[in-house]
């Protein structure tokens, strides 16, 4: 398949075969070499064959091979006649990122980094299969699935302001707990308030560079500031919701007469009983993830206070924003000059809504939605803002992170004989981890250059740079 370069940041996957629309990949020349070698563009083409897709099958510069859809994939489907696909959301429903600012500057914690690393690692349950101190009753779990982070705040895990600074106010209202399987509920009852394993993390960072001082100030960020970033999702409950949905959709799609190029793209029409069932159970998992990150922030704040012996007032921790990047949303977008209601799948992609959009919280509406893009644990992360170009070109979407260039197996092989924790320590980064293979699998070399990824979305105009963060403490599952 020949890719056609349209400009500095965009490559077209030409429409061919059963593709209903062309594909479009945002990248630069250096990163496209990896995309072509891995052939993730074939998944972009596969998504373009699905019924009801509008405009293009999109991929962000952090694109890499995923389940059905590529990670970094974005696609919008007609709400009345299109499909919804678990492969377009992913196993970790509403895996997302939360960024909080503090009143502290780097010199305030310079001599306390090891204590902070130890406190966060000990005080926040992490690792594959980890369970926390919060044991939900069946009744309370149902409330979590219905109310999301709003339930957590009502229980004292945070502040009402946190809800305003969370995408969708931390709750999808179509959630139907009664449609969630018994197995998913069992897994969810023990894992609320846990970080998980793999690429999930807690990170204390420092604002290293500010690109737009006006927007940064409105977001509550300033050069030298100490920040907290959390990356986690819906844990075992979300995984089980996806697994259950794929099981019944794989059988269901055979009855529809849709010829799929890949069985991992199993789907249902959104307006069908099966489509609505997935959409409503996915919302439950999304709400669980928002509650989870809300509680994780509360736990991390408490560990912060304890480690450096400071008052909440002097710490001044405030949520900047919480974004999700594995989700399907009902949204309105202008398509060929007409407002259309669509189901936007963002798999490893972040919402990037423009200034003035009513879905952006009032505090930040003048600037556009905050976009939080974590990099690998050894380099940097970025804060950006949504743009009108994103609304016009990508259904209000941008990248979600650096994107892998090495599989976990490949990373373990590449890390043999190396002490990753010492390499990070030499950079002034204190790291703590739980899983035996975690540091090897998550080594910085396993990921694309985050600055290159961010420069693409900034250069293409689908989000704009606001600030760059440098890690000083990282806790991995």
Residue 110 appears among annotated catalytic residues: no
Q: How many residues does the chain have?
A: 477
| Cα(385)–Cα(467) distance, integer angstroms | 10
- Nearest alpha-carbon partner for 51 in 6, 24, 88, 26: 88
- Nearest alpha-carbon partner for 166 in 62, 319, 15, 55: 319
| Cα(242)–Cα(86) distance, integer angstroms | 6
End-to-end CA distance of the chain: 39
SS3 string, 242-295, reads HHHHHHHHHHHHHHCCCCCCCHHHCCEECCCHHHHHHHHHHHHHHHHHHHHHHH
Q: Do 470 and 205 form a contact (C-beta atoms < 8 A)?
A: yes
Residue for token pair 């899983």: 435
| Cα(9)–Cα(23) distance, integer angstroms | 14
- Nearest alpha-carbon partner for 301 in 190, 378, 217, 227: 227
* Residue 426, H or E segment: helix 420-426
Q: Do 390 and 477 form a contact (C-beta atoms < 8 A)?
A: no
Residue 302 token pair: 């408490």
Helices (H), 15-172: 29-38, 41-47, 106-109, 113-123, 138-147, 149-154, 160-164
Residue from 231, 333, 400, 458 carrying the catalytic annotation: 400
Show Cβ contacts of residue 429 under 8 Å, excluding neighbours closer than 6 positions: 377, 378, 471, 472, 473, 474
Q: Do 402 and 61 form a contact (C-beta atoms < 8 A)?
A: no
| Cα(53)–Cα(416) distance, integer angstroms | 44
Show Cβ contacts of residue 33 under 8 Å, excluding neighbours closer than 6 positions: none
Q: Which residues are catalytic?
A: 400
């Amino acid at each position: 398949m020949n890719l056609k370069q349209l400009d500095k940041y965009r490559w077209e996957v030409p429409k061919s075969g059963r593709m209903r629309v062309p594909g479009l990949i945002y990248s630069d020349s250096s990163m496209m070499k990896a995309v072509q070698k891995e052939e993730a563009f074939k998944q972009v083409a596969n998504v373009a064959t699905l019924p009801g897709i509008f405009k293009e099958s999109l991929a962000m510069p952090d694109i890499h091979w995923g389940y059905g859809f590529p990670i970094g994939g974005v696609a919008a489907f007609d709400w009345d006649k299109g499909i919804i696909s678990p492969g377009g959301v992913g196993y970790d429903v509403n895996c997302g990122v939360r960024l909080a600012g503090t009143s502290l500057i780097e010199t305030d914690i310079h001599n306390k980094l090891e204590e902070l690393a130890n406190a966060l690692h000990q005080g926040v349950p992490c690792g594959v299969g980890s369970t926390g101190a919060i044991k939900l009753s069946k009744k309370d779990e149902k409330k979590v699935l219905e109310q999301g982070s709003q339930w957590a705040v009502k229980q004292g895990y945070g502040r009402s302001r946190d809800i305003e600074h969370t995408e969708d106010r931390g709750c999808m209202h179509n959630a139907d707990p009664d449609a969630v399987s018994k197995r998913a509920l069992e897994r969810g009852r023990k894992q609320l308030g846990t970080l998980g394993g793999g690429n999930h993390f807690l990170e204390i960072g420092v604002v290293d560079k500010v690109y737009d001082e006006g927007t940064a100030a409105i977001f509550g960020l300033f050069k030298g500031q100490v920040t907290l970033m959390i990356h986690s999702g819906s844990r075992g409950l979300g995984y089980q919701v996806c697994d259950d949905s794929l099981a019944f959709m794989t059988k269901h799609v055979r009855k529809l007469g849709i010829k799929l190029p890949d069985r991992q793209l199993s789907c249902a029409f959104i307006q069908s009983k099966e489509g609505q069932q997935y959409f409503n159970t996915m919302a439950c998992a999304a709400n669980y993830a928002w509650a989870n990150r809300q509680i994780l922030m509360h736990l991390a704040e408490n560990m912060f206070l304890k480690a450096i012996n400071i008052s909440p007032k002097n710490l001044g921790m405030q949520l900047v924003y919480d974004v999700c990047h594995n989700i399907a949303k009902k949204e309105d977008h202008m398509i060929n000059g007409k407002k259309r209601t669509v189901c936007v799948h963002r798999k490893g992609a972040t919402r990037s809504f423009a200034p003035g959009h009513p879905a952006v919280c009032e505090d930040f509406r003048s600037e556009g939605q905050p976009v939080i893009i974590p990099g690998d644990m050894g380099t940097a992360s970025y804060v950006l803002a949504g743009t009108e170009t994103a609304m016009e070109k990508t259904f209000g979407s941008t990248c979600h992170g650096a994107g892998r260039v090495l599989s976990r197996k490949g990373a373990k092989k590449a890390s043999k004989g190396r002490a990753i924790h010492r390499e990070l320590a030499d950079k002034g980064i204190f790291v703590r981890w739980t899983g035996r293979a975690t540091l090897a699998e998550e080594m910085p070399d396993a990921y694309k250059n985050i600055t290159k990824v961010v420069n693409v979305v900034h250069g293409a105009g689908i989000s704009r740079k606001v600030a760059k963060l440098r890690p000083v403490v990282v806790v991995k599952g």
